């Protein structure tokens, strides 16, 4: 179910719908395509109302996760199928199919059957079939899910190239934030049928609107630490139990202006945690719970009370479970625990 969706997608934009399973991404694509009708609201292409326009008259192509190629047809016939349904001249069909196949670098495969193709080749054929009608809008529903990691990276670059070359509006649904962040001009982060935030990859990463966006966008995910807003005289701090962070007067006033709640959340990205083997003034001593050398960085799980937080460190800083290290937080976000909304974004520490 979708709730109060209001999106404006620009012409020739590469726009991503990003969210977990059940967020409503596929339902929204199907409504845009005309396969499903909205119970309320309106869909416009430019200034034309599309609610009563059937799918075949919308000039929209949709590519599915499964590719849905006809196994008994050659690559050429699979790609030609939508044009033959439109009763186009065979000579014109061949010209269009060969042109798109050349763009997708699969012209040498036109006489093969799908069973003779690799996963990446089948994916290109499905994409070619979607492109032959020269759609005004190309809808891609988790198109890279069935590919291995290497092919997924290659196809991200291919989609980006095609979006610029073909100047087609692309709406791309994915649960993979790395995919969305690498290809999209803008992203709508969705959860449970609600758009949480719309923005560029940088806007979502550096200025998340709420906890869901902060945690969902970024890998490793943002750390979440419960804390309490405490005032004593003219001073205020965030008390996280294991440590306290002193607030400036302006930050304290900002928090009080935006919420009456004292229960807050610190959101700290792993790269904003400094880790040292040597004691440093103002740093917190923590115990290493786990260590992963992922090249070129290391991911370190640290115990903060009964909670684990992840930090990124250079791979030369080799650690073992049980080691004691000194940690400092360089920057963090402050969220209202009750609403999940951002209160202060990108707070830099002051020693």
Specify if 241 maps to a domain: yes
The span from the CA of 134 to the CA of 96, in Å, is 10
1 within domain boundaries = no
The rounded radius of gyration (Å) of the Cα atoms in the chain is 25
Query: Is 3 within a domain?
Result: no
> 206 near 340, Cβ under 8 Å?
no
Residue 89 and residue 83: Cα distance in Å, rounded? 9
Q: Are residues 299 and 312 in the same domain?
A: yes
Model pLDDT, residue 155: 79
Cα torsion at 245, 251, 254, 255 (round to 10°)? 0
Say if residues 27 and 36 touch (Cβ distance below 8 Å).
yes
Q: How many Cα atoms within 13 Å fall on the side-chain side of residue 199?
A: 14
Structural domain contains residue 8: no
pLDDT of residue 79: 95
88 plus 224 within the same structural domain: no
Question: Within this chain, do residues 342 and 307 fall inside the same structural domain, yes or no?
Answer: yes
Residues 253 and 334 in one domain: yes
The CATH number of whichever domain residue 290 belongs to comes to 2.40.50.140
Task: Assess whether 320 and 231 both reside in one domain.
Answer: yes
| 40 and 171, same domain (yes or no) | yes
| Listed residues 157, 187, 215: the one ending a domain | 215
295 Rama sector, left if φ>0, alpha if ψ -120 to 50, beta otherwise: left
- H helical segments located in the chain: 25-33, 75-85, 90-103, 119-131, 149-166, 177-183, 201-206, 211-216, 249-258
Domain that holds residue 191: 14-215
Instruction: Please tell me the predicted confidence (pLDDT) of residue 351.
Output: 44
pLDDT at position 175 is 94
State whether 149 and 298 are in the same domain.
no
Residue 43 lies in a domain: yes
Q: Is 48 helix (H, G, I), strand (E, B) or coil?
A: strand
Rounded Cα distance between 265 and 270, Å, is 16
CATH number at residue 147: 3.40.50.300
pLDDT value of position 347: 76
Look at residue 349 in the predicted model and tell me its pLDDT: 66
Distance between CA atoms of residues 176 and 247, nearest Å: 36
Q: Do the domain assignments include residue 109? A: yes
Residues 295 and 263 in one domain: yes
* Any domain includes 33: yes
Please state, in angstroms and rounded to a whole number, the distance separating the CA atoms of residues 65 and 153.
16
Residues 263 and 123 in one domain: no
CA angle 50, 54, 59 (to 5 degrees): 75
Give the number of domains in the chain: 2
The residue count for the chain: 351
In a domain, 68, yes or no: yes
3-state helix, strand, coil in the chain (%, to 5): 30, 30, 40
CA distances from 82 to 35, 62, 77, 161, 220 (A): 17, 12, 9, 24, 42
Tell me which of 215, 236, 258 is where a domain ends.
215
Residue where a domain terminates, one of 181, 215, 249? 215
Structure pTM? 0.88
Helix axes 119-131, 75-85, angle to 10 degrees: 20
| Same domain as 226, residue 183 | no
Residues in the chain, pLDDT under 70: 349-351
Residues 191 and 259 in one domain: no
**226 and 78 together in one domain:** no
């Amino acid at each position: 179910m979708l709730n109060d969706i209001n999106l404006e997608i620009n012409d020739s934009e590469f726009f991503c719908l990003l969210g977990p399973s059940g967020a409503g991404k596929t339902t929204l694509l199907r409504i845009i395509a005309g396969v499903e009708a909205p119970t309320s609201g309106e869909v416009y292409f430019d200034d034309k109302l599309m609610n009563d326009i059937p799918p075949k008259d919308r000039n929209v192509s949709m590519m599915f996760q499964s590719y849905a190629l006809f196994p008994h047809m050659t690559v050429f016939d699979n790609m030609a199928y939508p044009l033959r349904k439109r009763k186009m001249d065979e000579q014109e069909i061949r010209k269009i199919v060969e042109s798109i196949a050349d763009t997708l670098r699969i012209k040498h495969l036109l006489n093969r059957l799908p069973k003779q193709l690799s996963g990446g080749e089948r994916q290109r054929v499905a994409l070619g079939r979607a492109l032959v009608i020269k759609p005004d809008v190309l809808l891609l529903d988790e198109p890279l899910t069935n590919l291995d990691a290497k092919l997924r990276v290659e196809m991200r670059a291919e989609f980006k190239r095609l979006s610029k070359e073909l100047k087609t509006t692309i709406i791309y649904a994915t649960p993979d934030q790395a995919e969305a962040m690498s290809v999209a001009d803008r992203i709508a982060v969705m959860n449970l049928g609600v758009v949480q935030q719309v923005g560029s990859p940088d806007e979502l990463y550096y200025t998340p609107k709420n906890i869901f966006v902060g945690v969902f966008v970024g890998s490793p995910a943002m750390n979440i630490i419960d804390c309490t807003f405490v005032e004593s005289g003219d001073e205020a701090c965030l008390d996280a139990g294991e440590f306290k962070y002193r607030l400036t007067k302006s930050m304290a006033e900002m928090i009080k202006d935006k919420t009456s709640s004292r229960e807050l959340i610190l959101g700290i990205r792993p790269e904003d945690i400094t880790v040292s083997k040597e004691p440093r003034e103002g740093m917190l001593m923590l115990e290493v719970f786990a260590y992963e050398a992922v090249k070129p960085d290391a991911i370190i799980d640290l115990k903060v009370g009964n909670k684990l937080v992840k930090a990124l460190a250079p791979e030369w800083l080799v650690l073992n479970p049980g080691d004691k290290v000194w940690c400092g937080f360089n920057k963090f976000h402050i969220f209202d625990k009750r609403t999940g909304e951002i209160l202060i974004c990108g707070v830099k520490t002051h020693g």
